[in-house]
Amino acid sequence: MIVPMFKYSFLVFHADYDGFLEQLKDLGVAHIVEHQEEPTPEMQDLYRKISDLSKTIKNLEARKKNADREEAGKITETSGEKLNDRIKEIESNLEQARQHLSSLHKEEKQLEPWGKFSRDNIRKLSEAGIDIRYLICSETKFDSAWAEKYPVELISENDGYSFFVWVADADNRELPDEMSDVDEITLPEDNLEDVRKEISSTLKEIDSLEEELDGVALGGIQLLSNYQSQLEDRVSELNVRFQTVEEVEGRVRLIEAWIPKLRTRELEQQVDQQDVYYIKEPAKNHEKPPIMLKNNRFARLFEPVSKLFSLPAYVEMDMTPFFAPFFMMFFGFCLGDAGYGLLLVLAATIYKPKADKKMRPILSLVQFLGLATVLFGVITGTFFGMNLIENPPAFLADAKNMFLDNDQMFNLALIFGAVQILFGMILKGINQIIQHGIGYSLATWGWFTLIVSSVIFYYLDQQSPDEGLFFGTLHMGFVFLSALGILVFNHPKRNIFVNIGAGLWDTYNMVTGVVGDLLSYIRLFALGLASAILGQVFNQLAFDMAPDVPVVGIIITLIILLVGHGINIFMSGLGSFVHPLRLTFVEFYKNAGFIGGGKEYKPFQKVQ
C-alpha cells in the first residue's frame, strides 16, 4: 500500500529558522520538496570530499588486512578532518619519495659499471686540461687492441657491454673511425657511494611513512567514517537551506515538505509548540509526491524485488502484495527440486541469526522461495536431480501417481499464466475505477468476462459435447455483453463511433498481446524441465564416471555431485529468479496497467 502524503508549507521567521531545522532533523519525517535541481558549488565540493573519503576508507580497509599488527604505531589525531589531511600528506610524500627512489635507482645503474672513483680527482684533472671521456660499446665490437693504440682503459664488462674511458686533452673531440659504434655518455654528478646512501635513506623514509599509514588503517577508520557522516549531515542540511525560499525581504523563510500520513500527528505536536505557521494539503498526483510503501510482513520481503524495476506512481496501487505470491510460486516452479529447496531453507535459517540487520529480510525471502521450491519439488517428484516418478523408493511407491509428469506441468505453467493475466486484468479494472471512475473500466470488465466465460463454456462443452454449450445461447449472451463493454461503452465521454474504432484497435492489441503473454509463461515449464534434467545428468555422471576403486571412487562421486549440483543450483537459481522477475515486470504489470516512475521517500534526518 502507498502511504498517503501531505504537503506542508512552513513559514518560519528567519530568527527561528535554525532551531526549526534542528527540530525537523530530529523528527526525521519531512521529505523536502526540491525546486532547485543543480547543487551549489559548496555542496558539489562536499559531495566530492565525501566520495574521496569513501575511496580513502576503502584503501585503508584493504591495507588493514595486510598490515603488520605489532609494528604499526598509534595515531595521535583526534579529528577526522585532520586525520584525512595527514593521510593526504603521507600519500603525497610517499609519491614523491617513490619517484625520487626510482630516479636514484636509475643513477645507480648508470654509475655502477664505473666502480668507485674519486670525483675530486677527476675534477682536478679536468682543471689541468685533461678530460676523461666515458665510452660504451657492445662487447663484441670492443677491440682489445684499442688499449694500445689509443689512450683508452677498459673499466668493466657487463651485460654484453664494454665500459671504457678515454683520457684526452680538451682539444681533440673526434673519435677515430673504427670507434663509430661507440657511444659517449655523461655521468651524473654524484658518487656511487653517495647515491647508495641516499637510496637507503629514502627506503627508510618510505618504510616509516608506510608504517604510519598502517597505524592509521588499524586505528583510524572509525574516525574517518565519523567525519564522513558529519560531511553527509552537513550537505543534507545545506540542501534543505538551499531549497528554502526567502520571502518578505528575507525575514520569512518558506520550506515545503512531504510528510506521510502516519507521522503527521507527531510533527504537528512538535511544530504547534513553536511560532511556525503552516498550510497542510493532501498530495495531488501531478505534484509527484514521494512514495512510501507499507506492506504486511510477507509482502514487505518482496519490496526489494519491486524496487529493482520501479516504484509505483502515487495514484495507483502498490503491486508488491499482488505479485509476491505469484513470484514465490514461479520461483519454485522453475527451480522445482525438493533437495535444492531444503538446502536453501536450511542455509538461510542457519545464517540468519549471524547476519546483520540489513541481510535478514533477504534471508527471510530466501526461506520462502526455498519453501516454494520444496513444494514444487514434491509435486514433480524431483529430489536432488533424482526423478522419483521413474525410480520411486519403496515408501513412495504408492504416491507415484500423485506426481505430475511433464505434460501436466506444461499445462500447469499455462494455467498459472492465465491466472496471473486475469488477476492483472482485475487489478487494472479496479485501478481504473479508483483513478477515473467506473465508466472507464467497462472495457476491461468486458475482456475479463469474455475470456473467463469462453474458458468456462469450453470446458463445460468438453464434458458434455451434446448440449452445445460452447457458442450456445448463454455463452453468446456473455459474449454480447462483453462486446458492448469493449466496443461501445469503453469511454463515457466520447462519441460512439470513436469508441467503436478505438475498441477494434484495442481488440487487435489484446488478441495479439494476451496470446503472446500467455505463451511467455511456457518458460516456467521449460526452466523447470531444464533444471530437473541437469540434476539428473550430474547424478548420472557422478555414478557412471567414478572408477571402481573402493575409497577413491566414492570420493570422486561425491566431488562430481557437489560440483555438479552446485553449478545447477547457481545457474538454475539465477534463471528461476530472473525469469519470474521478467514475467512480473512485463506480462503482469502490462496487464495490470502499471504506470510506475515514483521516486522514493527520503526524509531529512540525522545521518546514521
Partner 1 sequence: MTPIVLAYIGIGIMIALAGAGSAYGVSYGGNAALGAMKKNSDAFGNYLVLSALPGTQGLYGFAGYFVISGTGVLGPDITAVQGAAVLGAGIAMGIVGLLSGIRQGQVCANGIAAIGSGHDVFGSTLVLAVFPELYAILAFAATFMISGTL
Grid coordinates of 359: 541481510
Nearest approach in angstroms of CB 522 to partner 1 is 5
Complex with partner 1: residue 55 or 286, whichever CB lies closer = 55
Question: What are the angstrom distances between the C-alpha of 219 and each of 91, 194, 205, 225, 227?
Answer: 17, 38, 21, 12, 14
Nearest approach in angstroms of CB 530 to partner 1 is 5
The span from the CA of 568 to the CA of 589, in Å, is 30
CA 506 to chain centroid? 39
Nearest approach in angstroms of CB 44 to partner 1 is 16
CA proximity to 85, closest of 200, 182, 189, 224: 224
Grid coordinates of 210: 608506510
Contact present, 485 and 449 (Cβ < 8 Å):
yes
Complex with partner 1: residue 187 or 414, whichever CB lies closer = 414
Nearest approach in angstroms of CB 533 to partner 1 is 4
Complex with partner 1: residue 185 or 578, whichever CB lies closer = 578
DSSP calls for 349-395: HHHGGGS-TTHHHHHHHHHHHHHHHHHHHHHHTEETTEETTTS--GG
Nearest approach in angstroms of CB 384 to partner 1 is 17
157: which strand partners? 162
The span from the CA of 103 to the CA of 109, in Å, is 10
Grid coordinates of 175: 673519435
Nearest approach in angstroms of CB 595 to partner 1 is 16
Complex with partner 1: residue 349 or 520, whichever CB lies closer = 520
Nearest approach in angstroms of CB 143 to partner 1 is 53
Complex with partner 1: residue 25 or 523, whichever CB lies closer = 523
Complex with partner 1: residue 161 or 410, whichever CB lies closer = 410
The span from the CA of 185 to the CA of 440, in Å, is 92
| Count of positions (residues) in the chain | 608
Indicate the DSSP class of residue 302.
Answer: T
Grid coordinates of 46: 562536499
DSSP SS3 for 491:
coil
Scan for cell 637510496, then name that residue. Answer: 199
Complex with partner 1: residue 259 or 412, whichever CB lies closer = 412
Complex with partner 1: residue 482 or 584, whichever CB lies closer = 584
Nearest approach in angstroms of CB 497 to partner 1 is 37
Complex with partner 1: residue 23 or 520, whichever CB lies closer = 520
Grid coordinates of 379: 509435486
Complex with partner 1: residue 194 or 600, whichever CB lies closer = 600
Nearest approach in angstroms of CB 223 to partner 1 is 22
DSSP SS3 for 486:
helix
Question: Roughly how many angstroms between the first and final C-alpha of the chain, as a whole number?
Answer: 27
Nearest approach in angstroms of CB 242 to partner 1 is 23
Contact present, 250 and 241 (Cβ < 8 Å):
no
Grid coordinates of 294: 507499507
DSSP SS3 for 292:
coil
Which chain residues interact with partner 1 by CB under 8 A? Answer: 307-309, 406-407, 410, 519-520, 522-523, 525-527, 529-530, 533-534, 536-537, 570-571, 574-575, 578-579, 581-582, 585-586
